[in-house]
Chains A and B, each alone.
Chain A
Amino acid sequence: GESVGLHLPTLSVQEGDNSIINCAYSNSASDYFIWYKQESGKGPQFIIDIRSNMDKRQGQRVTVLLNKTVKHLSLQIAATQPGDSAVYFCAEMNTGNQFYFGTGTSLTVIP
C-alpha cells in the first residue's frame, strides 16, 4: 500500500525565520502532490501543489521542492509568521486517483 510520512512531528521556529517541513513518499508512480495547512479544529486548506514532471514550484512565501530520486517532498515557508502556526501535511495522488495523506507536522512560530 501507499505510505506518506513526515520526518519530524513538531517544528518550532522564530518569527521571521524560514521553515522547512519534509515529507517522504513511497510510491514512485505518484504523479501529483499537495501541501495542506490545517489549523486546530478546522478543515485542511490547500497551500501549494506540484506535479511529478516538476522539481520546484513557488507560491506566495511558499516553495515546494520535489526530489523524485529519493521520493522526498519539502515545503519551505519564507519569513514565517505567527499565523503560519498550524499542522502541515502532504498528500500524494497515485495512479488510481486516490489521495494518501501524511500524518502531519505541527509548526509553532515563536514571536
Chain B
Amino acid sequence: DGGITQSPKYLFRKEGQNVTLSCEQNLNHDAMYWYRQDPGQGLRLIYYSQIVNDFQKGDIAEGYSVSREKKESFPLTVTSAQKNPTAFYLCATGFGYEQYFGPGTRLTVT
C-alpha cells in the first residue's frame, strides 16, 4: 500500500445518497487514478488525473465525479446517478509506467 491511504475501508450508504471516498498520497506522484473492481471483472478506470486541477474521464465515469485541488488528494464522489454503486473502489498513483494501489474502500449501497 505504501504511501497511499484510502478511507474508510468499509462504507455503507442508502440508495439516493451521494458519498465521497477519500484517497491521499505522500509519494509525490503527479498521476492519480480511480478504479472500480467487481467480482469476476478486471479493474475498470473511472477517472484519472495527471496533474493538479486537471482530470479526465475513464471508461466508466458516468455517475461519478472527482476533484484534484491538491497533489496529495483525489477524492471520488459516487453520486445517486450511479446505477450500481456497490463495489470495491481502488485508488492508485502513477510514476512513469508504474502504478501503486491503495488498500481500497468497499462501498455497499442498499
Interface of A with B (CB < 8 Å)? 4, 9, 32, 34, 36, 41-46, 49, 89, 91, 93, 98-104
Contact = CB atoms under 8 A, between A and B. Distances in A.
Interface string B39-52: 01111110010000
A103 to B, nearest CB: 5
B90 A44 contact: yes
Interface residues of B, number: 23
Interface stretch (B13-21, B61-69, B74-82, B100-108): B100-108
B26 to A, nearest CB: 16
B28 interface: no
Interface of B: 1, 4, 6, 35, 40-45, 48, 58, 90, 92, 97-104, 106
Nearest to A43: B101
B42 A43 contact: no
